[in-house]
Structure 1
Amino acid sequence: MTKKMKGFFTLFLILLINVSFAADLFDFEKEYDSLAQVLPFATGTERVDILCEMAYMLAPWEPQQSQPLVDEALSLADELNYQIGIGKAYQIKGDITYFNNDYIKAMDYYNRAVSIFRETDETFMLAKSLGQISTIYLKTGNTEKSWENIPEIIALYEKSQDLDELSTVYYALGYFHNTFSKDAEEAIRVLKKALKLFLQEKMPGRYIGSYSSSLALAYAMNGQADSASIHYYRALNFYNDSIIAERVLKTEIFF
């Protein structure tokens, strides 16, 4: 690897490590508190939806606190024969077990959710469940199986016009090609799609910065140093952390 390429890889790691999540945490707490205030007065399917949303938000961080919320949601949804609510509850149960690294049980819950969502018009949650199944396959080394759901996931997000989620799928594909298949040209193709959608949806700059840095890595892997430089420094424009800029200057010795 040339010194210039080493510089690109160093800068790529810096950009990924220093993404700011403070605004996301603030939004999370604000939304969760708002739902918690409404929950005591909610009944029927509305209560199921609120319980599911709260459980979904807690699942990655506090799975033990998420569990009683989703248990109540599933019980109530079953009582109401609220199929979408049942599917949501199974999906969140899948999330909880996934974050506890119990992939076998998580896969079972996600497959239950998929079976239910296929009988409804809920395309967004169906795509999310299929995406988690693909993620489990990828994490457990079954790369070939992880690809099977991708075309349907893309089609579902296109149908529902969930463009931010669609861009995330393209970003994940870019990550896959950057990290696993080492197919730089394909990574460039899908990451350009992801970045275009993210800009179109006017997503937060720190995310666009991450997308740009991933695209820069793909260009660097493909030997296109000038394009890589453009996207690395474009990524920097979307970050406000001065530490990043200082560290980037130190990497210039590689260029």
Structure 2
Amino acid sequence: MKSIYLLTTLLFLLNLDSFSQSAQTDINRINALNESAYKARLTNPDLSYKNSNEALILSKKNNYVKGIAESYRIRGISKYYQNQSDSAIQNYLTSINYFKQLKDQAGEAKVLNNIGTLYRDVDYDKALEFYNKSLEIAEKLEITDLTTGLNLNIGVIYQKKKEFKKALISFNKSYVQFQKQKNSTGLALSLQNMSVVYKYLNQLDTAEAFAKEAIVIAKENDLKYVVAGTNLTLSYVYISKGKYDEAARSINEGVSYAKEIKDKRLEYDFLYNSYTLENYRKNYQKALGYLQQIYRQDSLVYKNIVSDRISLQQEQFNQLQKQRENELTIQKQKTNQVIFWSAVVVSGLLFVVILLLVGNVNKKAKTNKELTRLNHEISLQKENLDRINHNLEDIIDERTKDLRIKNHKLSQYSSHLSHQIRGPVSTIKGLVNLQKEDLIEKEEFVQQLDKCIVDIDNKILNINEMLHNPQLLGFKDEEDEA
């Protein structure tokens, strides 16, 4: 009997050791996948999502909670670079929930930083709120690399708020720290953002130098997102300096990188720079074509929709999270009951079984009462979700209707321009035919021709003025809409 017991124990320990080795191998694989996914965020967001999703599946299989939290975080980052804000916020909130369960403040600080970046383009104050929360934790835990990245991100917000002195202080601080850490990605991003600030300060030579240096580092490290974004700044600098051929090359290179990383927002920004370039070159027909595409995309409406949808999505997620927690409580209670009864049967202790059965009657009554309360809460939460979804649909319908009206007005304006130019051109053609038939005196012909040319010149000046004044097209500016 003792021999059988010893043999059983030995086999159990061998199996346990084999299981532990397998689990450790999976954990190493999970960490490697998440690390490669994070590195790919600026070069290949699709690959970043693929690797982090594979890490998430493996983490759930092994019940590796830290791996689950980190996988959700990096999935959110990849969705941000794919311009899918709704999916990004869902992943971030799920991630921070797991880090809170683990009481992992370092992980929580990273997610707060990521959420701040998500708000960076739509709500500067909200972004600063999340960045400062993250910075407080990072400085307390002395997480150097996160602190450095937060200085860079905070500088971006100050730059967007036109507080350029504060922005340069943050960027210079992050640049020095990235140099110490030998972080090429951080250096490229710092240089890129400093070039943007000096562009706004109209220090074009300095802006050009920083942008070129950023592009060199970015290309060496295959940072396609940085190359695209920096070319946007560089093209504007070249336009301002009158270097139109260099500007065109920067725009073409930037657009190719933006398309490669599938960044529609960057493509839109390059579209505006293309319009500015052709307008400076006095290629008004091309400029008008770019302007039509710009109004078709309507970036202001896009930003408003993203801001509204992020807020609604966050509220919706919180409601769903409560619902999941309630459902999880119910499931845990059912699971505990199954485990409890199984243990009673295995033990074979009749007296213990009787005592537990008596206690279970009282527990069942409490459980049923709790189930009734939880089901009622779930019903209320579902009603709230329906109302939120309805509000979201109304917002999208309103923005879509506004965009149709703007496109209709732009079409009417194009028809008006065509009619205005066609009149004097038709008159010139008539004068030429009269001259060919010798039906008009040469002096009168020259006089009438001069009038037509003056008329055309005035209309071209009028077109140029209207291209630079959207209100003349019938569109309201951003302050009027507010």
Are residues 220 and 97 of structure 1, via their aligned partners in 2, closer, same or farther at CA, if it must alter by over 3 Å? Answer: closer
Q: Could you tell me how far 1:147 is from its partner in structure 2?
A: 2.4
Q: Could you tell me how far 1:61 is from its partner in structure 2?
A: 3.8
Q: What does residue 101 of structure 1 align with?
A: 162
Counterpart of 1:195, as a letter, is V
RMSD: 3.5
Q: Could you tell me how far 1:32 is from its partner in structure 2?
A: 2.5
Aligned mate of 1:218, from 259, 277, 280: 277
Deviates more, 1:213-222 or 1:94-103: 213-222
Q: Deviations over 1:27-55 (max 9, x none)?
A: 32442343133223322443232111112
Work out whether 1:36 is the aligned partner of 2:93. Answer: yes
- Quick one: percent identity of the two aligned structures? 11
Counterpart contact for 1:213–1:235, Cα < 8 Å: no
Counterpart of 1:218, as a letter, is L
Counterpart of 1:144, as a letter, is D
What pairs up with 1:101-180 in 2 under 5 angstroms? 101-178=162-239, 180=240
Q: Is the radius of gyration larger for structure 1 or structure 2?
A: 2
* Partner SS for 1:149: helix
Q: Deviations over 1:108-135 (max 9, x none)?
A: 1111111111122433333222222222
Q: What does residue 57 of structure 1 align with?
A: 118
Counterpart contact for 2:232–2:270, Cα < 8 Å: yes
Counterpart of 2:97, as a letter, is P
What pairs up with 1:2-81 in 2 under 5 angstroms? 27-42=84-99, 43-81=104-142
Counterpart contact for 1:117–1:126, Cα < 8 Å: yes
Counterpart of 1:34, as a letter, is N
Q: Could you tell me how far 1:104 is from its partner in structure 2?
A: 1.7
Deviates more, 1:96-105 or 1:155-164: 96-105
* Partner SS for 1:101: coil
Work out whether 1:191 is the aligned partner of 2:255. Answer: no
Counterpart contact for 1:212–1:231, Cα < 8 Å: no
Distance 1:136 1:200 in 2: 26
TM-score (norm 2): 0.40
TM-score (norm 1): 0.71
Distance 2:272 2:119 in 1: 29
Q: What does residue 152 of structure 2 align with?
A: 91
Are residues 208 and 108 of structure 1, via their aligned partners in 2, closer, same or farther at CA, if it must alter by over 3 Å? Answer: closer
Q: Could you tell me how far 1:184 is from its partner in structure 2?
A: 1.5
Report which of the two has the higher share of helix: 2
Are residues 104 and 209 of structure 1, via their aligned partners in 2, closer, same or farther at CA, if it must alter by over 3 Å? Answer: closer
Unaligned runs of 5+ in 2: 1-80, 299-402, 422-459, 461-482
Are residues 209 and 115 of structure 1, via their aligned partners in 2, closer, same or farther at CA, if it must alter by over 3 Å? Answer: closer
Q: Could you tell me how far 1:169 is from its partner in structure 2?
A: 1.6
* Partner SS for 1:148: helix
Counterpart contact for 2:149–2:186, Cα < 8 Å: yes
Q: Deviations over 1:50-108 (max 9, x none)?
A: 11111223345434333343233223323433221011121222233334433222211
Distance 2:89 2:141 in 1: 25
Q: Could you tell me how far 1:217 is from its partner in structure 2?
A: 4.9
Q: Deviations over 1:180-232 (max 9, x none)?
A: 2122222112112222323334443x754553564365356446678x48974
Unaligned runs of 5+ in 1: 1-23
Distance 1:162 1:99 in 2: 23
Distance 1:212 1:99 in 2: 20
